[in-house]
Amino acid sequence: MAFEFRLPDIGEGLEDAEIVSWYVSPGDVVERDQSLLEVLTDKASSELPSPVAGKVLKLSGQEGDRIKVGDVLIEIEEPLTTPPQENSLEEDLEIEESKPERDNSRIEEQKNFITVAPKVKASPATRKLARELTVDISSISGTGSSGRITNDDVRLAAKSDNTSSRPSSPIDSEQTSSFMPERSNLGFMEPGEHKVKGVRGVIAKNMSAAWTEIPHIHSLDEVDASLLIDFRNRLKKVTRQGASKITPLSIIAAATVRALKKYPMMNGHVVGNPAEKIIIPPSINLGIAVASESGLLVPVISEANSIDIFELAEKISELVELARERKITVEQMQGATFTITNYGALGGRWALPIISLGQAGILGVGKIEDRPVAVEGKVEARPTLPIVLGADHRLIDGDVAEAFKNSIMNDLLEPLNLLVTE
């Protein structure tokens, strides 16, 4: 009997999704909860597991096609099962003693039908990388959350003669480990014509609309990061949950949340084009832009105004890992009221970031590096942090933008302020 697996209702009013990648082909045997395909909405990508075990009969749609909620994705032939007989113990013994020789060939056929490879916890991007590096992904022990295999695990396995002897945890620099994935295909595309699809298609659509609708103003500045770095080093030694996750970015995020509390207009947005009404949300939902192998993703720390710097650092670390591994959910990428983009982790110093639709501002963070500065009449080399504030000029005037940016800078110069409970 053929089971028809239809595109489920993913929520949030989404009516369709794009098929990014099929993990199975007609004739393959799948188990229940095995990932069948990856689909992409305007919010995020998701892996869809099989609700049944059986043999794949037919796939509906190719990679790049859009399919509506309720349409058939795949047909699976479920194996026939015979319900167990309710015999007494004596009857069972008699049957066991008198039953004829089993048809071993039939048993092997059934075993072959239901036996599948062990389920591997890895994102589509990680699976693709393993194929490119000719690494047997099933032989790798994952170091990610819940044993999930990461890109770093695959790369270490590719460099090792024996994947079973690889170290339990990869070592990355603090600056780049979360925000700058090592990509073997960075900037590569085959000559010829390519359809704009997948994450790239979503980014292109959203950025074009944001740049067209929002009149941007940008304000650039630099901050002496000496005290910020010292503050980070001290907090990492604190015996408190989340202290080990403290980074310069999480400190900047905490300062941004404090500034958004003082200037709630920066946490709002304009509805309509050119402008019909202004919305000021009751909560601060902070988006953190993350570079993934498939493009830019923005996980969201909901109600960031209600947590301290330690919990904020922990949540940023957790969501960034999920985003990099393409395990981020639709819900975890919704509702941002303000965004921080850390292009400094990519080596950049200055940029003019684009504000996301439904927001009034974005903070760009550049690379911290030693620069000559004047200190009490003398020139010294000090670690400096370049920051850029982008604001929607329909809602935010220059005085509000400068006051907001100065609030962030003041807290970075006096980071002990971030430990004060308001």
pLDDT value of position 92 = 45
What does the radius of gyration of the chain's CA atoms come to, in whole angstroms? 27
Q: Annotate 394-407 with b (16+ C-beta within 10 A) or e (fewer).
A: bbbeeebbeebbeb
Which residue type sits at 207? M
Spatial CA neighbour of 138 closest among 147, 146, 292, 28: 147
Q: Annotate 211-240 with b (16+ C-beta within 10 A) or e (fewer).
A: eeebebbeeeebbbbbebeebbeebeeeee
The residues facing 27 across adjacent strands are none
Q: What is the largest CA-CA distance in the chain?
A: 103
Is the four-CA dihedral 328, 23, 165, 292 of positive or negative sign? Answer: negative
Is the four-CA dihedral 160, 163, 167, 170 of positive or negative sign? Answer: positive
CA distance linking residue 350 with residue 306, whole number of Å: 31
pLDDT value of position 164 = 39
CA distance linking residue 330 with residue 340, whole number of Å: 19
Q: What is the CATH number of domain 1-80?
A: 2.40.50.100
CA distance linking residue 169 with residue 149, whole number of Å: 11
The span from the first CA to the last CA of the chain, in angstroms, equals: 62
Helix and strand element counts for the chain (H, E): 9, 18
pTM: 0.67
The domain locations on the chain are 1-80, 120-171, 199-419
393 catalytic? Reply is yes
CATH class of 199-419: alpha beta
Residue with tokens 């927001």: 359
Would you state the structure tokens that stand for residue 370, as one six-digit string? 């030693």
Instruction: From the candidates 216, 218, 269, 393, give the one annotated as an active-site residue.
Output: 393
Residue 150 makes CB contacts below 8 A (sequence gap 6+) with 126, 142, 143, 144, 170, 324, 325
Structural fold of domain 120-171: Dihydrolipoamide Transferase (4.10.320)
The residues facing 217 across adjacent strands are 391
Cβ count near 289 (within 10 Å): 22
pLDDT value of position 146 = 52
CA distance linking residue 68 with residue 49, whole number of Å: 18
Strands (E) across 328-415 are located at 338-341, 361-365, 369-375, 378-392
Per-residue pLDDT of the chain (422 residues; tens, 9 = 90+): 688 898 887 655 567 888 888 888 899 998 888 888 888 776 566 778 888 999 999 998 888 888 888 899 899 998 765 454 444 444 444 444 444 444 444 434 433 433 333 456 666 567 767 777 788 777 787 766 456 677 777 877 776 644 334 333 332 345 444 455 555 566 778 889 988 877 778 888 888 989 999 999 999 999 999 999 999 999 988 888 989 999 999 999 999 999 999 999 999 999 988 889 999 999 999 999 988 766 788 999 999 999 999 999 999 999 988 887 777 887 888 899 999 999 998 889 999 999 999 999 999 999 999 999 888 899 999 999 999 999 999 999 999 999 999 999 999 999 999 998 76
Q: In Å, how far from its chain's centre is CA 188?
A: 22
